Structure formats: C-alpha cells, structure tokens
Amino acid sequence: MKDNKKKKRIFAAVFPLCVIAALTAIFLSYASFYYKADETALAAMSSYANVTVEKTDYGYLFDGPSSDNALIFYPGGKVEETAYAPLLHSIAECGFDVCLVKMPLRFAFLGVDKADAIIDDGSYENYYIAGHSLGGAMAASYAQKNGDKLKGAALLAAYPTGKLSDDLRVITIYGSKDSVVNMENIEKGRQYMPSDAVEYIIEGGNHAQFGSYGQQRGDNDADITAEEQITQTAIQIFLCFTKE
C-alpha cells in the first residue's frame, strides 16, 4: 500500500513536468519552421541611398538622414526579421531611422517590451512603433501601455485590442487582397483608435508583401508588385507621422 502511494506521489510530481517538456518540444518544433528572407530582402540589408544598415544588440538599425525620429519595428510571427529590410530601408530613406527588433523564436509576444531598451537609450527625441501582423498586434499592445513614450504607431495588417491614447498618431494599413488578417477584428479595433487615426487600404495588396519572404500560407495573390506595396506603405507612414 505504501509503495502504491509513493508511486502515485512520484507520478503526480513527474507527470506535469513531462507534459511541460512535451509541449515545449512541440512549440520549438513549430517555431523552427518559419518564413525566410528572400534575395530582395538580403540585398536590402546593405547600406545604400543614404541609409546605413548595422547590427545592434536588439537587431538592426537602418540609419538614415534622421537624427530626431526613430521607428521601432516588430516583425510578423514566424518571419525572419531581415525579410522586412526593403520596407524599412524605404522608411529610413523617407526620414525615420528604423530599429528592427529581433524577437525570441520569431514571436513578438515573447518580446513585447523590447522597445523599452531602445527608448531608454535616449538616442532620439521622438519614438514611434510599428509592426506587421502578430508584430503589429504586439506593437499596438506596447503602445497601449506606453503611450507616453511614443509619438505614434503604424499597424500593418494588424489591430489594437485596447484603447490607444488620443495623443498618438496612428495608422492602420492593409491590402485589399489580404486573406490572412481577420477583418472582423480590424473593424473591432477601430473603437480603440484615436479619433484622427488613419486607415489606408492598399488596393491589390496582400498580407505577405509588407515583407519579402514569398507567398504566405492562406494568403491571396497580390494584384500589385511587392515594390509597389512597400512604396505605398512607407509613404503613408511618413505622411501620417509628419502631418501638421
């Protein structure tokens, strides 16, 4: 009888650990398959057009002409961060230095507060945050809790789930052909936006072409090129953040 009780106690103690280990292994296996940066993205990791790309503790800095304004960027889930180099290079050329954050296991929910270290460094007068898909959702979450540290937020195929300060300049951008983002949640997210928030739809754009990592599962084919989608995105972010 005592042996049976002892075995039960051991089982009760060990079983939860086995479950945690199994779930961790499953998650790590899931995370190991991700969308990789394509050749266009890898080329955009080079310095050109008045933008210097350099590796940092948090990821990469796209150092353009700006000395006052920095945009912190959170990548989409299961997407290699360098896949966003063409977009971020374009934004830096427009006049915002861009801090590309490398997320743990490529999931922004594991690094929601990564922006803190960048802002605390105090290298810039004004900080903005942006992100794509899951990265956009986590950027919105950060902005919701840290609105006093930021000047604005750009949500690419993403939406907030809590109130964003009316003091923030906010823009939501998504493609008309996007079949990955939940449009019902985009609509629900409008209630949390500042009254002067901008919503911009890229006609013919899809979900994946904010980055350069190929076709995304479940997404529609775009009717425009990735270059066109990236150009529109960079311009709209710049216009939103610099409007008087």
Is residue 100 within 8 A of residue 60, CB to CB? The reply is: yes
- pLDDT tens digits along 138-147: 999 999 999 9
Q: What is the mean pLDDT of the chain?
A: 90
* pLDDT level of residue 200 (50, 70, 90 thresholds): very high
* pLDDT level of residue 244 (50, 70, 90 thresholds): confident
The pairing of strands 152-156 and 126-132 is: parallel
Q: Residue 184 carries which side chain, given as an amino acid letter? A: E
Is the pLDDT reported for residue 162 higher than 80?
yes
In angstroms, rounded to a whole number, what is the distance separating the alpha carbons of residues 134 and 165?
A: 21
Mean pLDDT throughout 42-64?
A: 96
Which pTM does this prediction carry?
0.89
Is residue 189 within 8 A of residue 160, CB to CB? The reply is: yes
* pLDDT level of residue 128 (50, 70, 90 thresholds): very high
Is residue 178 within 8 A of residue 228, CB to CB? The reply is: no
Helix (H, G, I), strand (E, B) or coil at 74: strand
Is residue 156 within 8 A of residue 209, CB to CB? The reply is: no
Q: What is the pLDDT of residue 73?
A: 98
Is residue 135 within 8 A of residue 77, CB to CB? The reply is: yes
Element (H, E) at 98: strand 97-101
Higher-pLDDT residue of 128 and 28 is: 128
Token couple for 64: 């353009």
User: CA angle, 153 as apex, 204 and 49 as ends, to 5°?
Assistant: 70
- pLDDT tens digits along 65-106: 999 999 999 999 999 999 999 999 999 999 999 999 999 999
Give the chain's radius of gyration (CA, Å).
20
